[in-house]
Structure 1
Amino acid sequence: MKLNNGFKSVFVQPLSYITLSIITTILISPSVLAVTAQNYLHSPKTSADKFTGQENFKTREQKLAQLEDSVVQERSQFIQQANALYSQGNFKGAEESLRKFLKKFPEDSFGHFQLGNVLFQQKRLDEAISSYQEALRLKPKYALAYNAIGIVYASQSRWDEAMVEYRKALEINPDYADALTNLALSLWQTNKRDEALASLTKALNIFKSQNRKEKAYQVEQILQQIKNSDNPGVS
Protein backbone atom coordinates (compact mmCIF):
# COMPACT_ATOMS: atom_id res chain seq x y z
CA MET A 1 0.00 0.00 0.00
CA LYS A 2 1.22 3.52 -0.81
CA LEU A 3 0.40 6.93 0.51
CA ASN A 4 -1.14 9.43 -1.83
CA ASN A 5 1.15 12.28 -2.78
CA GLY A 6 -0.74 14.80 -0.67
CA PHE A 7 -0.09 12.96 2.56
CA LYS A 8 3.26 11.33 1.97
CA SER A 9 5.47 14.16 3.22
CA VAL A 10 3.38 14.56 6.35
CA PHE A 11 3.73 10.87 7.17
CA VAL A 12 7.47 10.63 6.75
CA GLN A 13 8.32 13.46 9.14
CA PRO A 14 6.39 12.18 12.19
CA LEU A 15 7.77 8.65 11.81
CA SER A 16 11.25 10.14 11.67
CA TYR A 17 10.96 12.24 14.80
CA ILE A 18 9.37 9.41 16.79
CA THR A 19 12.19 7.12 15.78
CA LEU A 20 14.72 9.68 16.98
CA SER A 21 12.88 10.07 20.26
CA ILE A 22 13.54 6.49 21.30
CA ILE A 23 17.24 6.89 20.65
CA THR A 24 17.78 10.06 22.65
CA THR A 25 16.06 8.70 25.76
CA ILE A 26 19.23 8.16 27.78
CA LEU A 27 18.51 6.82 31.24
CA ILE A 28 21.46 6.49 33.57
CA SER A 29 19.77 4.10 35.96
CA PRO A 30 21.90 1.57 37.88
CA SER A 31 19.60 -1.39 37.26
CA VAL A 32 22.61 -3.60 36.76
CA LEU A 33 23.38 -3.17 40.44
CA ALA A 34 20.15 -4.57 41.83
CA VAL A 35 21.22 -8.22 41.99
CA THR A 36 24.71 -7.35 43.16
CA ALA A 37 23.42 -5.24 46.03
CA GLN A 38 20.86 -7.80 47.08
CA ASN A 39 23.34 -10.66 47.06
CA TYR A 40 25.93 -8.65 48.95
CA LEU A 41 23.64 -7.44 51.71
CA HIS A 42 21.95 -10.80 52.21
CA SER A 43 24.98 -13.07 52.06
CA PRO A 44 25.49 -15.38 55.09
CA LYS A 45 27.47 -13.81 57.91
CA THR A 46 30.93 -15.07 58.73
CA SER A 47 32.09 -15.80 62.27
CA ALA A 48 33.81 -12.44 62.36
CA ASP A 49 30.52 -10.75 61.46
CA LYS A 50 28.86 -12.19 64.57
CA PHE A 51 31.43 -10.52 66.81
CA THR A 52 31.59 -7.12 65.10
CA GLY A 53 27.81 -6.70 64.77
CA GLN A 54 26.48 -3.33 63.67
CA GLU A 55 29.93 -1.88 63.02
CA ASN A 56 30.68 -4.58 60.45
CA PHE A 57 27.28 -4.08 58.83
CA LYS A 58 28.09 -0.39 58.33
CA THR A 59 31.42 -1.37 56.80
CA ARG A 60 29.64 -3.62 54.31
CA GLU A 61 27.22 -0.82 53.48
CA GLN A 62 30.09 1.57 52.85
CA LYS A 63 31.86 -0.93 50.58
CA LEU A 64 28.65 -1.59 48.68
CA ALA A 65 28.06 2.14 48.22
CA GLN A 66 31.59 2.54 46.84
CA LEU A 67 31.04 -0.40 44.48
CA GLU A 68 27.75 1.07 43.28
CA ASP A 69 29.31 4.49 42.68
CA SER A 70 32.14 2.94 40.68
CA VAL A 71 29.86 0.80 38.50
CA VAL A 72 27.31 3.56 37.95
CA GLN A 73 30.05 5.97 36.93
CA GLU A 74 31.56 3.47 34.48
CA ARG A 75 28.16 2.65 33.02
CA SER A 76 27.33 6.34 32.70
CA GLN A 77 30.57 7.05 30.86
CA PHE A 78 29.90 4.30 28.30
CA ILE A 79 26.34 5.46 27.66
CA GLN A 80 27.29 9.14 27.43
CA GLN A 81 30.08 8.34 24.99
CA ALA A 82 27.75 6.30 22.78
CA ASN A 83 25.13 9.03 22.89
CA ALA A 84 27.66 11.71 21.96
CA LEU A 85 28.85 9.66 18.98
CA TYR A 86 25.26 9.07 17.91
CA SER A 87 24.48 12.79 18.13
CA GLN A 88 27.44 13.44 15.83
CA GLY A 89 26.06 10.93 13.31
CA ASN A 90 28.92 8.55 14.02
CA PHE A 91 26.74 5.45 14.24
CA LYS A 92 29.63 3.04 13.73
CA GLY A 93 31.52 4.62 16.61
CA ALA A 94 28.41 4.51 18.79
CA GLU A 95 28.00 0.84 17.93
CA GLU A 96 31.60 0.06 18.93
CA SER A 97 31.17 1.89 22.21
CA LEU A 98 27.93 0.04 23.00
CA ARG A 99 29.45 -3.34 22.14
CA LYS A 100 32.30 -2.65 24.56
CA PHE A 101 29.71 -1.67 27.16
CA LEU A 102 27.71 -4.86 26.60
CA LYS A 103 30.83 -6.99 26.82
CA LYS A 104 31.24 -5.66 30.34
CA PHE A 105 27.52 -5.47 31.19
CA PRO A 106 25.91 -8.22 29.06
CA GLU A 107 22.71 -8.24 31.12
CA ASP A 108 21.98 -4.54 30.63
CA SER A 109 18.67 -4.36 28.74
CA PHE A 110 19.02 -0.64 28.05
CA GLY A 111 22.40 -1.22 26.38
CA HIS A 112 20.86 -3.77 24.00
CA PHE A 113 18.00 -1.37 23.29
CA GLN A 114 20.42 1.45 22.45
CA LEU A 115 22.46 -0.88 20.24
CA GLY A 116 19.28 -1.69 18.35
CA ASN A 117 18.68 2.02 17.78
CA VAL A 118 22.19 2.49 16.40
CA LEU A 119 21.89 -0.56 14.13
CA PHE A 120 18.55 0.74 12.87
CA GLN A 121 20.20 4.01 11.87
CA GLN A 122 22.71 1.97 9.86
CA LYS A 123 19.79 0.20 8.14
CA ARG A 124 20.87 -3.15 9.59
CA LEU A 125 17.28 -3.99 10.32
CA ASP A 126 17.49 -7.69 11.20
CA GLU A 127 20.34 -7.01 13.62
CA ALA A 128 18.40 -4.13 15.15
CA ILE A 129 15.41 -6.39 15.78
CA SER A 130 17.69 -9.01 17.37
CA SER A 131 19.07 -6.38 19.75
CA TYR A 132 15.59 -5.20 20.71
CA GLN A 133 14.54 -8.80 21.27
CA GLU A 134 17.53 -9.36 23.54
CA ALA A 135 16.50 -6.29 25.53
CA LEU A 136 13.04 -7.84 25.86
CA ARG A 137 14.48 -11.16 26.94
CA LEU A 138 16.22 -9.39 29.79
CA LYS A 139 13.31 -7.05 30.51
CA PRO A 140 10.03 -8.55 29.21
CA LYS A 141 7.93 -5.47 29.94
CA TYR A 142 10.13 -3.09 27.96
CA ALA A 143 7.54 -1.02 26.09
CA LEU A 144 10.16 1.07 24.27
CA ALA A 145 11.69 -2.06 22.73
CA TYR A 146 8.32 -3.26 21.38
CA ASN A 147 7.70 0.20 19.94
CA ALA A 148 11.15 0.16 18.35
CA ILE A 149 10.54 -3.21 16.68
CA GLY A 150 7.30 -1.78 15.34
CA ILE A 151 9.21 1.14 13.83
CA VAL A 152 11.59 -1.25 12.09
CA TYR A 153 8.67 -3.15 10.57
CA ALA A 154 6.98 0.12 9.57
CA SER A 155 10.15 1.22 7.78
CA GLN A 156 9.68 -1.90 5.60
CA SER A 157 5.96 -1.21 5.09
CA ARG A 158 5.15 -4.30 7.15
CA TRP A 159 2.20 -2.52 8.69
CA ASP A 160 0.36 -5.45 10.25
CA GLU A 161 3.51 -6.71 11.98
CA ALA A 162 4.28 -3.18 13.14
CA MET A 163 0.83 -2.85 14.69
CA VAL A 164 1.29 -6.09 16.62
CA GLU A 165 4.41 -4.65 18.26
CA TYR A 166 2.85 -1.27 19.00
CA ARG A 167 -0.09 -3.00 20.66
CA LYS A 168 2.31 -5.01 22.82
CA ALA A 169 3.91 -1.76 23.95
CA LEU A 170 0.48 -0.33 24.73
CA GLU A 171 -0.51 -3.40 26.73
CA ILE A 172 2.39 -2.54 29.02
CA ASN A 173 1.78 1.21 28.99
CA PRO A 174 -1.63 2.30 27.65
CA ASP A 175 -0.55 5.96 27.87
CA TYR A 176 2.56 5.52 25.73
CA ALA A 177 1.81 8.37 23.33
CA ASP A 178 4.65 7.62 20.89
CA ALA A 179 3.35 4.08 20.40
CA LEU A 180 -0.20 5.41 20.00
CA THR A 181 1.01 7.77 17.29
CA ASN A 182 2.96 5.06 15.51
CA LEU A 183 -0.03 2.72 15.71
CA ALA A 184 -2.23 5.42 14.21
CA LEU A 185 0.14 5.87 11.26
CA SER A 186 0.06 2.14 10.55
CA LEU A 187 -3.73 2.07 10.90
CA TRP A 188 -3.93 4.92 8.40
CA GLN A 189 -1.74 2.99 5.99
CA THR A 190 -4.09 0.02 6.18
CA ASN A 191 -7.19 2.13 5.52
CA LYS A 192 -8.47 2.12 9.12
CA ARG A 193 -9.15 5.85 9.22
CA ASP A 194 -11.48 6.02 12.22
CA GLU A 195 -9.18 3.89 14.39
CA ALA A 196 -6.22 6.02 13.32
CA LEU A 197 -8.04 9.21 14.31
CA ALA A 198 -9.01 7.76 17.70
CA SER A 199 -5.43 6.67 18.42
CA LEU A 200 -4.02 10.04 17.37
CA THR A 201 -6.56 11.94 19.47
CA LYS A 202 -5.59 9.93 22.55
CA ALA A 203 -1.88 10.49 21.80
CA LEU A 204 -2.48 14.22 21.38
CA ASN A 205 -4.21 14.50 24.75
CA ILE A 206 -1.38 12.64 26.46
CA PHE A 207 1.32 14.78 24.82
CA LYS A 208 -0.53 17.89 25.94
CA SER A 209 -0.87 16.61 29.49
CA GLN A 210 2.88 15.93 29.51
CA ASN A 211 3.58 19.43 28.12
CA ARG A 212 5.40 17.91 25.14
CA LYS A 213 4.46 20.77 22.85
CA GLU A 214 6.51 19.84 19.79
CA LYS A 215 5.04 16.37 19.55
CA ALA A 216 1.55 17.63 20.29
CA TYR A 217 1.91 20.08 17.42
CA GLN A 218 3.08 17.38 15.02
CA VAL A 219 0.23 15.07 15.96
CA GLU A 220 -2.23 17.94 15.43
CA GLN A 221 -0.82 18.38 11.92
CA ILE A 222 -1.30 14.70 11.13
CA LEU A 223 -4.83 14.74 12.52
CA GLN A 224 -5.74 17.75 10.42
CA GLN A 225 -4.27 16.21 7.29
CA ILE A 226 -6.25 12.99 7.75
CA LYS A 227 -9.48 14.84 8.46
CA ASN A 228 -9.04 17.01 5.36
CA SER A 229 -8.16 14.13 3.08
CA ASP A 230 -10.78 12.87 0.63
CA ASN A 231 -8.84 9.64 0.19
CA PRO A 232 -8.56 7.61 3.42
CA GLY A 233 -4.84 7.02 3.07
CA VAL A 234 -4.34 4.47 0.30
CA SER A 235 -4.26 4.62 -3.43
Structure 2
Amino acid sequence: MKRTVFVKPLSWVTLSIMTAIGISPVLAVPAKISWHSPQQSAKKQPQRLAQFSETNQPERSQLLQQAQVLYQQENWTGAEENLRKFTKKYPKDAFGHFQLGNVLVRQGKSEAAISSYREAIRLQSKYALAYNAIGAVYASQNRWEEAITEYQKALEINPDYGDALANLGEAFWQTNKRNEAKVSLEKALNIFKAQSRNQKVNQVERMLQQMKASDDPGVS
Protein backbone atom coordinates (compact mmCIF):
# COMPACT_ATOMS: atom_id res chain seq x y z
CA MET A 1 0.00 0.00 0.00
CA LYS A 2 1.27 3.43 -0.90
CA ARG A 3 2.46 5.62 1.96
CA THR A 4 0.45 8.79 2.44
CA VAL A 5 2.39 10.44 5.23
CA PHE A 6 5.40 12.51 4.32
CA VAL A 7 8.67 11.55 5.96
CA LYS A 8 10.71 14.67 6.57
CA PRO A 9 14.22 14.75 5.12
CA LEU A 10 16.86 15.06 7.80
CA SER A 11 17.85 18.50 6.58
CA TRP A 12 14.39 19.93 7.19
CA VAL A 13 13.97 21.52 10.59
CA THR A 14 10.36 21.91 11.64
CA LEU A 15 11.24 24.12 14.55
CA SER A 16 12.35 27.10 12.47
CA ILE A 17 12.30 29.74 15.13
CA MET A 18 12.95 33.40 14.42
CA THR A 19 15.76 34.74 16.56
CA ALA A 20 17.17 38.10 15.68
CA ILE A 21 18.42 40.91 17.85
CA GLY A 22 17.05 44.14 16.53
CA ILE A 23 13.75 45.69 15.57
CA SER A 24 12.98 43.28 12.73
CA PRO A 25 13.49 39.60 13.64
CA VAL A 26 14.17 37.17 10.81
CA LEU A 27 13.81 33.46 10.37
CA ALA A 28 17.02 31.68 11.28
CA VAL A 29 18.71 29.33 8.86
CA PRO A 30 17.78 25.67 9.45
CA ALA A 31 19.63 23.69 12.11
CA LYS A 32 21.19 26.80 13.61
CA ILE A 33 19.65 29.87 15.15
CA SER A 34 21.45 33.11 14.48
CA TRP A 35 21.16 36.75 15.45
CA HIS A 36 21.22 39.61 12.98
CA SER A 37 21.33 43.38 13.09
CA PRO A 38 18.22 45.29 12.01
CA GLN A 39 19.98 46.13 8.74
CA GLN A 40 20.77 42.48 8.01
CA SER A 41 17.26 41.50 9.02
CA ALA A 42 15.68 43.91 6.56
CA LYS A 43 17.67 42.33 3.73
CA LYS A 44 17.01 38.74 4.74
CA GLN A 45 13.29 38.86 5.49
CA PRO A 46 11.45 41.64 3.63
CA GLN A 47 8.12 41.68 5.45
CA ARG A 48 6.15 44.19 7.44
CA LEU A 49 6.70 43.78 11.14
CA ALA A 50 5.39 45.59 14.14
CA GLN A 51 7.70 48.28 15.43
CA PHE A 52 8.41 48.22 19.12
CA SER A 53 8.53 51.03 21.63
CA GLU A 54 11.59 52.08 23.61
CA THR A 55 13.92 51.10 20.77
CA ASN A 56 16.17 54.11 21.29
CA GLN A 57 16.83 53.61 24.96
CA PRO A 58 20.51 52.77 25.55
CA GLU A 59 19.76 50.46 28.46
CA ARG A 60 17.31 48.46 26.38
CA SER A 61 19.87 48.06 23.61
CA GLN A 62 22.55 47.05 26.09
CA LEU A 63 20.40 44.33 27.62
CA LEU A 64 19.58 42.93 24.19
CA GLN A 65 23.23 42.99 23.18
CA GLN A 66 24.14 41.09 26.33
CA ALA A 67 21.49 38.50 25.49
CA GLN A 68 22.91 38.26 21.99
CA VAL A 69 26.40 37.50 23.28
CA LEU A 70 25.09 34.84 25.67
CA TYR A 71 23.02 33.32 22.91
CA GLN A 72 25.96 33.13 20.53
CA GLN A 73 27.90 31.38 23.30
CA GLU A 74 25.00 28.92 23.61
CA ASN A 75 24.66 30.00 27.21
CA TRP A 76 20.92 29.44 27.25
CA THR A 77 20.57 29.79 31.01
CA GLY A 78 22.41 33.08 31.00
CA ALA A 79 20.43 34.35 28.02
CA GLU A 80 17.18 33.40 29.73
CA GLU A 81 18.20 35.18 32.93
CA ASN A 82 19.13 38.26 30.93
CA LEU A 83 15.88 38.30 28.99
CA ARG A 84 13.81 37.77 32.12
CA LYS A 85 15.46 40.86 33.56
CA PHE A 86 14.67 42.63 30.31
CA THR A 87 10.98 41.66 30.30
CA LYS A 88 10.67 42.62 33.96
CA LYS A 89 12.05 46.07 33.21
CA TYR A 90 10.19 46.40 29.90
CA PRO A 91 7.05 44.30 30.43
CA LYS A 92 5.28 45.85 27.44
CA ASP A 93 8.10 45.11 25.00
CA ALA A 94 6.75 42.34 22.76
CA PHE A 95 10.13 41.68 21.18
CA GLY A 96 11.67 40.86 24.55
CA HIS A 97 8.98 38.26 25.26
CA PHE A 98 9.43 36.84 21.79
CA GLN A 99 13.17 36.48 22.27
CA LEU A 100 12.64 34.90 25.68
CA GLY A 101 10.41 32.34 23.98
CA ASN A 102 13.22 31.55 21.54
CA VAL A 103 15.69 30.93 24.36
CA LEU A 104 13.20 28.75 26.22
CA VAL A 105 12.71 26.64 23.10
CA ARG A 106 16.44 26.00 22.94
CA GLN A 107 16.22 24.58 26.45
CA GLY A 108 13.29 22.33 25.64
CA LYS A 109 10.89 24.41 27.75
CA SER A 110 8.14 24.26 25.17
CA GLU A 111 5.15 25.30 27.25
CA ALA A 112 7.01 28.20 28.83
CA ALA A 113 8.13 29.27 25.36
CA ILE A 114 4.55 29.23 24.09
CA SER A 115 3.52 31.38 27.04
CA SER A 116 6.20 33.92 26.14
CA TYR A 117 5.12 33.96 22.51
CA ARG A 118 1.50 34.41 23.61
CA GLU A 119 2.50 37.38 25.72
CA ALA A 120 4.27 38.91 22.73
CA ILE A 121 1.07 38.48 20.72
CA ARG A 122 -1.02 39.97 23.51
CA LEU A 123 1.17 43.05 23.35
CA GLN A 124 1.41 43.10 19.53
CA SER A 125 -1.63 41.44 18.01
CA LYS A 126 -0.16 41.42 14.50
CA TYR A 127 2.96 39.51 15.52
CA ALA A 128 3.07 36.98 12.69
CA LEU A 129 6.49 35.68 13.70
CA ALA A 130 5.24 34.72 17.14
CA TYR A 131 2.29 32.81 15.70
CA ASN A 132 4.67 30.95 13.38
CA ALA A 133 6.97 30.18 16.31
CA ILE A 134 4.10 28.71 18.32
CA GLY A 135 3.13 26.61 15.34
CA ALA A 136 6.68 25.33 15.07
CA VAL A 137 6.69 24.31 18.74
CA TYR A 138 3.43 22.40 18.25
CA ALA A 139 4.86 20.77 15.12
CA SER A 140 7.91 19.61 17.06
CA GLN A 141 5.45 17.80 19.34
CA ASN A 142 3.50 16.33 16.39
CA ARG A 143 0.51 18.47 17.36
CA TRP A 144 -0.15 19.13 13.70
CA GLU A 145 -3.69 20.47 13.81
CA GLU A 146 -2.73 23.02 16.45
CA ALA A 147 0.32 23.93 14.40
CA ILE A 148 -1.86 24.50 11.33
CA THR A 149 -4.07 26.89 13.28
CA GLU A 150 -1.08 28.99 14.36
CA TYR A 151 0.51 29.07 10.90
CA GLN A 152 -2.79 30.18 9.42
CA LYS A 153 -3.01 33.00 11.94
CA ALA A 154 0.46 34.14 10.90
CA LEU A 155 -0.60 34.07 7.26
CA GLU A 156 -3.76 36.04 7.95
CA ILE A 157 -1.44 38.82 9.09
CA ASN A 158 1.11 38.36 6.31
CA PRO A 159 -0.04 36.21 3.37
CA ASP A 160 3.45 36.40 1.84
CA TYR A 161 5.22 34.98 4.90
CA GLY A 162 7.25 32.29 3.16
CA ASP A 163 8.42 30.50 6.29
CA ALA A 164 4.89 30.12 7.62
CA LEU A 165 3.74 28.87 4.21
CA ALA A 166 6.50 26.26 4.17
CA ASN A 167 5.72 25.16 7.71
CA LEU A 168 2.00 25.04 6.90
CA GLY A 169 2.74 22.89 3.86
CA GLU A 170 4.59 20.38 5.99
CA ALA A 171 1.79 20.33 8.57
CA PHE A 172 -0.80 19.77 5.85
CA TRP A 173 1.24 16.88 4.50
CA GLN A 174 1.59 15.30 7.91
CA THR A 175 -2.22 15.35 8.22
CA ASN A 176 -2.68 13.85 4.74
CA LYS A 177 -4.00 17.08 3.20
CA ARG A 178 -1.92 16.53 0.11
CA ASN A 179 -3.34 19.14 -2.24
CA GLU A 180 -3.25 21.86 0.39
CA ALA A 181 0.34 20.91 1.22
CA LYS A 182 1.49 21.28 -2.38
CA VAL A 183 -0.29 24.59 -2.85
CA SER A 184 1.26 26.02 0.31
CA LEU A 185 4.76 24.77 -0.51
CA GLU A 186 4.61 26.05 -4.07
CA LYS A 187 3.63 29.50 -2.79
CA ALA A 188 6.51 29.37 -0.32
CA LEU A 189 8.88 28.31 -3.08
CA ASN A 190 7.97 31.28 -5.26
CA ILE A 191 8.42 33.69 -2.35
CA PHE A 192 11.80 32.24 -1.41
CA LYS A 193 12.94 32.50 -5.02
CA ALA A 194 11.86 36.15 -5.15
CA GLN A 195 13.80 36.77 -1.92
CA SER A 196 16.88 34.89 -3.21
CA ARG A 197 16.79 32.63 -0.16
CA ASN A 198 18.49 29.77 -1.92
CA GLN A 199 18.79 27.46 1.05
CA LYS A 200 15.05 27.64 1.61
CA VAL A 201 14.43 27.18 -2.11
CA ASN A 202 16.47 23.97 -2.06
CA GLN A 203 14.66 22.67 1.02
CA VAL A 204 11.20 23.24 -0.37
CA GLU A 205 12.14 21.80 -3.75
CA ARG A 206 13.37 18.64 -2.02
CA MET A 207 10.12 18.39 -0.09
CA LEU A 208 8.06 18.76 -3.26
CA GLN A 209 10.20 16.15 -5.02
CA GLN A 210 9.72 13.72 -2.15
CA MET A 211 5.97 14.33 -2.22
CA LYS A 212 5.89 13.68 -5.96
CA ALA A 213 7.83 10.46 -5.46
CA SER A 214 5.33 9.30 -2.86
CA ASP A 215 2.54 9.86 -5.40
CA ASP A 216 4.23 7.49 -7.84
CA PRO A 217 2.27 4.21 -7.92
CA GLY A 218 5.58 2.36 -8.04
CA VAL A 219 6.57 3.73 -4.62
CA SER A 220 5.37 1.50 -1.80
Please indicate the TM-score interval, normalised by the length of the shorter structure. Answer: 0.7 to 0.9
Matched residue type, 2:21: I
Shift in Å at residue 84 of structure 1? 2.2
What is the 5 A alignment of 1:1-235?
8-10=7-9, 13-16=12-15, 18-19=16-17, 22-23=18-19, 25-28=20-23, 31-33=52-54, 69=56, 71=57, 73-230=58-215
Partners of 2:6 and 2:173 within 8 A in 1: no
Residue-pair matches, total: 189
Q: How many percent identity over aligned positions?
A: 60
Partners of 1:11 and 1:222 within 8 A in 2: no
Which secondary structure does the structure 2 equivalent of 1:196 belong to? helix
Q: Which has the greater radius of gyration?
A: 1
Q: Deviations over 1:175-209 (max 9, x none)?
A: 00000011011101001111111101100100111
Q: Deviations over 1:8-57 (max 9, x none)?
A: 451662324x23xx12x222477323xxxxxxxxxxxxxxxxxxxxxxxx
Separation in structure 1 between the aligned mates of residue 179 and residue 23 of structure 2, nearest angstrom: 39
Q: Deviations over 1:114-163 (max 9, x none)?
A: 10111111111111111011001100110001111101111111100100
Q: 5+ unaligned residues in a row in structure 1: which ranges?
A: 34-67
Q: 5+ unaligned residues in a row in structure 2: which ranges?
A: 25-50
Partners of 2:52 and 2:94 within 8 A in 1: no
RMSD: 2.3
Greater helix share, structure number: 1
Matched residue type, 1:94: A
Matched residue type, 1:14: V
TM-score by length of 2: 0.79
